Structure 1
Amino acid sequence: MTWRLLAWSGIAVAALIPIVGGIWLFTLPAASAFRVQPPITQREHDATLAALKPKRARPLIAIVGINDMTETTDYLMPYGILRRADVADVVTLATGPGPVTLFPVLKVEPDATIAAFDAAHPDGADYVIVPAMSRDDDPAVLQWIRRQAEQGAVIVGICAGGKVVASTGLLNGRRATTHWFYLKGWRDNHPAIRYVADRRIVVDRGVATTTGISASMPMSLTLIEAIAGREKAEAVARAIGLPGWDARHDSNAFKFTRPFALTAIRNTLAFWNREQLGLALVPGVDEVSLALVADSWSRTYRSHAATFAATADPVTTRNGLRIYPQTVAASWPADRLLPAVGTTPPAQALDQALAGIEARYGGSTADFVAVQLEYPRGHAVR
């Protein structure tokens, strides 16, 4: 597991505890208030859509991951939204055979390996979606992404998937963005990248990047609009319960702050009070809701969401993905059972999960999770 994933798991934060008594903690800024960002101009919006136009009338979208660790929401949320829209053929891929273990939770069976995809589609994909992965230098995935770009695919780095895309060299000289937590190292390691602040989505010459884990939702809707028009994107947004979306973002609101550090340290130290919360895995579950709920409850440093089902067999989701339960159980103790997934539109699942986290662990922990996800909690434009 890389330093990036250790940091989110709490192990790296635990290493900071010995210096809390010094001045380090007090050098961190206080939490930043959200600033109202000006609307995206029609010219910028139109240019983004033009840059995202597909090769085919019925596009082919490939979501690629490495088997041993790929980010949960980055991998599942674009799949669920784009499959729901039915404006493209969407496939999940892995670099090798077997399931993909997702971080921080879930394990899925991809549709194919990258080798099988290449054999079936020698002309390549229209879009390749690149989630965050446990390592940014996997040679198989880097070579495959480069080859897809050469064949005319638009490469879409979701969240810290922008680090993987940067490792291919495709971002050199291009405008781009990525998750706030990795921004400094990303820029230090790739100085030719032209970082763009205050944008959820940045597109430059066939490569798109996004800020934060939660940005895969507006990115997916933007792809739908580029493929099938605004009316279709709005219909999908209504179906998933999203009141509005665009590329606006307040980058300054997401940073390593004193409240963030204190919550991480406090929750890490409360190791005796950590919980495993059950999340029922049922046939037909919505992938977006499942990913958001499981991901957010597994980032509190107080809890981990464990999917369970009556058998060890994979469960087929709403759009045909096969997900393996982590635990075989017919039921879960009521005091540690998470609410059923799918009772509300998917876009509201994260808000509900954060409300549940606040009720169980306090507002600081809910804010801590939202900042990890780079999610503008409580603001209309997501």
Structure 2
Amino acid sequence: MIWRILAWSALGGLAALAAIGGTWLLLLPGAPARGAAPAISSEESEATLAALKPPKRRRPLIAIIGINDKSETTDYLMPYGILARADVADVVTLATQPGPVTLYPALKVQPHATIAAFDAAHPDGADYVIVPAMTPEDDAAALQWIRSQAGKGATVIAVCVGAMVVANTGLLDGKRATTHWYSVGDLKKHSAIRYAADRRLVVDRGVATTTGITASMPMALTLIEAIAGRARAEAVASEIGLAAWDARHRSDAFQFTRPFALTAIANTLAFWRREQLGIALTPGIDEVSLALIADAWSRTYRSRALTFAAAEQAQTSRSGLGILPDRIAADWPAAQTPPAATGLPPVQALDHALRAIDARYGPRTADFVAMQLEYPR
């Protein structure tokens, strides 16, 4: 008798959970909003550029900080690759501790220096500090270093959920800011911060924030324009395949929807079909295209991108960053190799990856990935 009672109680509990979950799914919006983003006035664009002018040096020094574990892949690599190829500033990648930076959800790199070594070499600090998303968002060493750089006059630029890291330093208190759509609720919990909707890039008194992951593209180009002028920014934009990079954004086009939730649930439950996809590391590989491709394939909830090379030493990327292979192998099974795209310009490489994800896992998974990357399709 006791076992029958327990069995019925368990079934009742499962039924209640299913009912709660079903109700939650039904209450989610069926699709994100459609339509064009509101235009940005020329006055606002000019004010943004003026606020991002180099605060110290004619040739600025830009430092990109990461913690050694779980700094976001594209947040960390894309600003570096775009700014380095522009050749309008000295750009360095940093880690809070010695050793490689393991990025999330894919790739491992050798940073140029630790924050301690940077401070010893540049006691007057950087001109700009770029802060990617990190887990945890309250790493004590990172927060202290970001505060110290701001105190030395650096402009702090938070990419994506890097806004939550900067929020934890207190540097956003009393200022306007934005972040990845998934973390807007967390940002609003900081009562001293004013959320700014419908902007991919917000600059307020020495601190800039951006929306989701791919927003580091327009952010980097805006920074290039502020440093070296429109013509240089246009040349780099053409090289990476981006036609426009102003701050326009439609915030309600990116939100947690029913298709998004159902795709996450279905792909997570299909664990037996999960794949490890190999991307060959080669000398001179474009770190921006690689970051976008590896990030996209690692966000399907059906696959994870791994890099491989014939030897264990780091491969030097196009702009001089050491990228470490995840596996030592001469090749990878063809069935587990995504279509080659690392040789394409970054925007085309991402579009190519999303089309390949659509072909392999279906359009819902491709849309699911694009939503995570906050990439308009």
TM-score, L = length of structure 1 = 0.93
- Displacement of 1:21: 4.9
What is the aligned partner in structure 1 of residue 368 from structure 2? 368
| Mapping for residues 283-362 of structure 1, pairs under 5 Å | 283-362=283-362
- Whether the 8 Å CA contact 1:65–1:94 is kept in 2: the answer is yes
What is the aligned partner in structure 1 of residue 206 from structure 2? 206
Q: Which segment is superposed worse, 50-59 or 338-347?
A: 338-347
Matches of 1:210 and 1:154, distance apart in 2: 14
> CA offsets, 1:125-177, max 9 Å, x none?
00000000011111111011011111110000000000000000000100000
Matches of 2:227 and 2:34, distance apart in 1: 32
Matches of 1:53 and 1:311, distance apart in 2: 43
The letter of the residue matching 1:238 is S
What is the aligned partner in structure 2 of residue 151 from structure 1? 152
- Whether the 8 Å CA contact 1:280–1:340 is kept in 2: the answer is no
Structure 1 runs of 4+ off > 6 angstroms? none
SS in 1 for 2:311: coil
SS in 1 for 2:308: strand
| Mapping for residues 1-382 of structure 1, pairs under 5 Å | 21-54=21-54, 55-188=56-189, 190-377=190-377
The letter of the residue matching 1:243 is A
Q: Which segment is superposed worse, 179-188 or 288-297?
A: 179-188
> CA offsets, 1:83-133, max 9 Å, x none?
000000000000010000100011111000001000100110000000000
RMSD value over aligned CA atoms? 1.1
| Uncovered stretches (5+) of structure 1, i.e. residues with no partner | 1-16, 378-382
Matches of 2:349 and 2:19, distance apart in 1: 37
Work out the number of aligned pairs and report it: 360
Matches of 1:19 and 1:321, distance apart in 2: 51
- Whether the 8 Å CA contact 2:38–2:249 is kept in 1: the answer is no
- Whether the 8 Å CA contact 1:137–1:167 is kept in 2: the answer is yes
- Displacement of 1:30: 1.1
Residues 355 and 120 of structure 1: CA distance in aligned 2, closer, same or farther (over 3 Å)? same
What is the aligned partner in structure 2 of residue 380 from structure 1? none
Q: Which has the larger radius of gyration?
A: 2
- Whether the 8 Å CA contact 1:286–1:341 is kept in 2: the answer is no
Matches of 2:19 and 2:81, distance apart in 1: 43
The letter of the residue matching 2:161 is A
- Displacement of 1:240: 1.1
Residues 208 and 274 of structure 1: CA distance in aligned 2, closer, same or farther (over 3 Å)? same
- Whether the 8 Å CA contact 1:176–1:203 is kept in 2: the answer is yes
- Whether the 8 Å CA contact 2:218–2:247 is kept in 1: the answer is yes
- Displacement of 1:344: 1.7
The letter of the residue matching 1:106 is L
Matches of 1:301 and 1:285, distance apart in 2: 26
- Displacement of 1:340: 2.8
The letter of the residue matching 1:74 is D
Matches of 2:103 and 2:208, distance apart in 1: 22
Sequence identity (%): 70
Q: Which segment is superposed worse, 363-372 or 25-34?
A: 25-34
